Copies of this chain bind each other. A is one copy, B any other.
Amino acid sequence: MSQEQLDIAFHPHSIAVLGTSGNPLSLGYNFLAHLVNYGYQGRIYPVTPKWEEILGCPVYPSLTDIPDSVDYVICCLPAARIPDFLRECPGKGVRVVHLFTGRFSETGQAEAAEQEQALLRLARELGIRLIGPNCMGIYHPAERIAFGYDFPTEPGRLGMFFQSGATCTEFIYYTSIRGIRFSKVVSYGNALDIDESDLMAYLCQDKDTDVITSYIEGIKDGRKFFETLGQTARKKPVILLKAGRGKVGAEAAASHTAAMAGSLKIWEAAIKQSGAIHAGSLSDMIELAVSFYCLPPIHSTRVGVVGGGGGQSVLSADEWEEAGFDVAPLTQDMEEMIRQTMPELWWGWIKNPVDVSLLPVDAVSAGLNSRIMKMMCQSDHFDLVVVNIGVGGPFDKAIFTEYLRNNVEEIIQVAKMNTKPLVVVLDTGAMGPKEFDNERWKSIAEASSKLIDAGIPVYPSSGQAAASIIRLIRYYQWRETVG
Residue numbers of A with Cβ under 8 A of B are: 24-25, 27, 30, 33, 107-109, 136, 147-150, 162-174, 177-178, 215, 217, 243-249, 251-253, 255-257, 280-283, 308-315, 317-319, 321-322, 327, 347-349, 351-353, 355, 357-358, 361, 390-397, 399-400, 427-436, 438, 440, 442, 445-446, 448-449, 452, 458, 460-461, 463
Contacts and interface: CB of A to CB of B under 8 A. Distances in A.
A434 B170 CA distance: 17
A395 B25 contact: yes
A351 B109 contact: no
A355 B430 contact: no
Contacts of A248: 317, 321, 327, 351-353
A172 to B, nearest CB: 8
A452 B432 contact: yes
Nearest to A136: B394
Given A395-B24, A396-B24, A461 B351 contact: no
Contact of A164 (B172, B314, B431): B314
A164 B448 contact: no
B318 A148 contact: no
Contacts of A394: 27, 30, 136, 147-148, 165, 169
Contact of A33 (B390, B396, B460): B396
A311 B24 CA distance: 23
Nearest to A390: B166
A335 to B, nearest CB: 14
Nearest to A329: B248
A246 B432 contact: no
- Quickly give the copy total for this chain: 2
9 contacts: A30-B395, A108-B347, A149-B397, A166-B308, A167-B309, A246-B317, A432-B445, A432-B446, A432-B452
Contacts of A440: 149-150
Q: Which of A163, A311, A400 has the most CB of B within 10 A?
A: A311
9 A-B pairs with least C-beta separation: A164-B311, A167-B311, A166-B309, A432-B449, A169-B392, A170-B392, A256-B310, A246-B321, A249-B318
Contacts of A283: 427, 460-461, 463
Nearest to A149: B396
Contact of A244 (B24, B318, B400): B318
A102 to B, nearest CB: 9
Given A25-B399, A361-B25, A440-B149, A249 B314 contact: yes
B315 A282 contact: yes
Nearest to A396: B149
A149 B167 CA distance: 39
Q: Which of A249, A399, A460 has the most CB of B within 10 A?
A: A249
